[in-house]
């Protein structure tokens, strides 16, 4: 079974837009778990425009499922935050400062030595590491040398091309997944996966362990309600 981790950044964005604590980020996370989500994901950024650093401490104290913290490990504050919280998983994403959303994976060839060093830092603290990568076989091959436990396939290109030709859209992801399976690297995926394209992706990609979904899921919840939305996403995976 592929696990569903709910990214709650958008809940934090809504809260921050008015100040105060409405909606309550911690309550939403606990509700996601209650409704069947198998993990909670946050992606704090330096400007704290959605997830605040304190949020990670508040969430870590109560989350019973897997806690996944995403972010750019070139920011020392992020590294310190992860080590202080010791989540189940840290996902290393090469975001530039001020970037609206993640839009590319790591170049695991160019940054091989750096990633190897950072992967070791987190693994020594008992944290599983996933590296955000584009669906390129060479990037997966060189991810192995970093010692990472998993990769997270960046799925925006798949989502954009899905309606035009889903077989063509998923082809590079399938090749990357086969290589990861061959090398013994775990596979996660995320970005723009939704109720329309998720089922085909999950059924086609061998060894898919986890998907992290935020924007689409929270948007769907406006119409369907959070509990019904999570049930529908779980149904796509199972």
Alpha-carbon distance 119 to 95, whole Å?
Answer: 17
Residue 178 labelled as part of a binding site: no
Question: Do the annotations mark residue 214 as ligand-binding?
Answer: yes
Which is the catalytic residue, given 43, 111, 152, 210? Answer: 43
Active site residue 191: yes
Token pair listed for 199: 């089922």
Q: Name the catalytic one among 66, 152, 191, 210.
A: 191
Alpha-carbon distance of 98 to 227, in angstroms, equals: 32
* 142 is known as an active-site residue: no
Q: Binding residue per annotation — 15?
A: no
Catalytic choice (33, 66, 70, 152): 70
Please provide residue 193's backbone torsions phi and psi, each rounded to the nearest 5 degrees.
Answer: -75, 140
112, 103, 106, 60: which is closest to 81 by C-alpha? Answer: 60
Tally DSSP H helices, then E strands, for the chain: 11, 8
Identify whether 182 is a catalytic site residue.
no
How remote is the C-alpha of 51 from its chain's centroid?
14
Annotated binding residue 192? yes
Annotated binding residue at 50?
yes
**Residues annotated as catalytic (active site), given as ranges:** 43, 70, 191
Which residues are annotated binding-site positions for 3-amino-2-oxopropyl phosphate? Answer: 7, 18, 192, 214-215
Instruction: Write out the binding residues for 1-deoxy-D-xylulose 5-phosphate.
Output: 45, 50, 101
Residue numbers in the known binding site are 7, 18, 45, 50, 101, 192, 214-215
């Amino acid at each position: 079974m592929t696990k569903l981790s709910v990214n709650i950044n958008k809940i934090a964005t809504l809260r921050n837009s008015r100040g105060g604590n409405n909606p309550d980020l911690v309550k939403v996370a606990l509700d996601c778990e209650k409704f069947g989500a198998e993990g909670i994901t946050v992606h704090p950024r330096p400007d704290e425009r959605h997830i605040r650093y304190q949020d990670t401490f508040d969430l870590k104290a109560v989350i019973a499922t897997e806690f996944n913290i995403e972010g750019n490990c070139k920011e020392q504050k992020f590294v310190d935050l992860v080590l202080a919280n010791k989540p189940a998983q840290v996902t290393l994403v090469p975001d530039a400062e001020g970037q609206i959303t993640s839009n590319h994976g790591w170049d695991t060839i160019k940054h091989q030595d750096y990633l190897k060093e950072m992967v070791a830092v987190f693994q020594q603290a008992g944290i599983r590491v996933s590296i955000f990568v584009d669906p390129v076989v060479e990037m997966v091959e060189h991810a192995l040398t970093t010692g990472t436990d998993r990769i997270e396939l960046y799925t925006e290109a798949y989502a954009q091309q899905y309606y035009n030709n889903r077989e063509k859209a998923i082809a590079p992801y399938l090749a990357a997944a086969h290589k990861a399976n061959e090398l013994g690297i775990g596979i996660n995926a995320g970005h723009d996966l939704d109720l329309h394209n998720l089922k085909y992706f999950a059924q086609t990609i061998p060894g898919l362990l986890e998907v992290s979904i935020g924007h689409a899921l929270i948007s769907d919840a406006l119409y369907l309600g959070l509990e019904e939305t999570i049930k529908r996403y779980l149904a796509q995976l199972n």
